[in-house]
Structure 1
Amino acid sequence: MTTTNAPTLSDPRDPYKRLKTTRSNYELYGWVFMRASGVILLVLIFGHLFVNLMVGDGVHAIDFAFVGGKWTSPFWQVWDLLMLWLAMMHGTNGVRTIINDYAERPLVRLWLKIFLYAAFVIVTVLGTLVIFTFTPCPLGAPADLLPSICFK
């Protein structure tokens, strides 16, 4: 005797069929971006660490004057800007993937992504402003804290 209300199972050898068809390769592009940005970030971060910790007096030389002198060069501004932007995009994409994997309810997923993207925008905008509006020679600062470029 067969029942007509029983659910039917598909043959396990049938090819996998997606439940929802998409025309976008967004997840593929995100995956490729994570790999490429990770390699570029390795170069940027280790270059940053080498210059800050190994060249000159090492960690003892890092102070306001060191950063002020470094950020007077457009090269180091662009270097640090690329490092900031890539690190923020890389991290945001990684956390977005985690939210998609573990947040089960759509409303929770939506709010987590809203907070994530808001944090991304705030940190990226503020970091960019700091890099490009940084004043290495502020008025009234003690002379021993200023970089040597301020006295030329």
Structure 2
Amino acid sequence: MSTIADPKAPRASRPGPSRRTTRGNFELYGWVFMRASGVVLIVLVFGHLFVNLIQGEGISAIDFGFVAGKWASPFWQVWDLLMLWLAMLHGTNGVRTIINDYAEKDATRLVLKLALYVATVVVIVLGTLVIFTFDPCPPNSPTSLLPSFCTA
């Protein structure tokens, strides 16, 4: 007959150096960041939804021109950039915590976290580039390819 371990019993420590001593206060800072970024993200997301869906003409008005007009303002560029960065960092920190909790082998944990960090950096870099280099009316483009609001 086999017995099931007590779920409230502390887990056996992993061999090797203690993870608690190598991290210092990083977990505390991660916990505080999750709470603070969550509050800021609520404001950013609901502000985004209000401006895009309620204040205007609803979802039918959101198109290329709407985004182009919105990102013509540095205020909305910074707003969307903050939303992108905070959402990505908040999500990455959450998934990092899940990986630390459930990945048993150090090699598995390393590979998963490496893939997570690479994906995060790629999305943040590409998103930032799109926000700041977006030009709906690129110079020297054929007028047939330009949106109707661009002057030739």
TM-score when normalising by structure 2: 0.80
Deviation of 1:151 (Å): 3.9
Aligned to 1:140: 142
Query: Which structure has the bigger radius of gyration?
Result: 1
Deviation of 1:28 (Å): 0.5
Alignment of 1:3-152 (within 5 A): 20=18, 22=21, 24-138=24-138, 139-140=141-142, 145-147=147-149, 150-151=150-151
Deviation of 1:145 (Å): 3.7
Q: Which runs of 5+ in 2 are unaligned?
A: 1-16
Deviation of 1:137 (Å): 1.5
Give the fraction of aligned pairs with identical amino acids, expressed as a percent: 70
Q: Which runs of 5+ in 1 are unaligned?
A: 1-18
* Corresponding residue pairs, total: 132
Cα distance, 1:93–1:141 mapped onto 2, change above 3 Å: farther
- Cα deviation per residue 1:31-51 (whole Å; 9 max; x = unaligned)? 000000000000000000111
Deviation of 1:65 (Å): 0.2
Aligned counterparts of 1:143 and 1:31: Cα–Cα separation in 2: 48
Answer yes or no: is the 8 Å Cα contact 1:77–1:132 preserved in 2: yes
Q: Larger RCO: Structure 1 or Structure 2 (Cα < 8 Å, ≥ 6 residues apart)?
A: 1
Aligned to 1:12: none
CA RMSD of aligned residues (A): 2.1
Aligned counterparts of 2:146 and 2:59: Cα–Cα separation in 1: 18
The one-letter amino acid of 1:50's match is F
Answer yes or no: is the 8 Å Cα contact 1:136–1:146 preserved in 2: no
- Cα deviation per residue 1:33-91 (whole Å; 9 max; x = unaligned)? 00000000000000001111011211000000000000000000000000000000000
Cα distance, 1:102–1:54 mapped onto 2, change above 3 Å: same
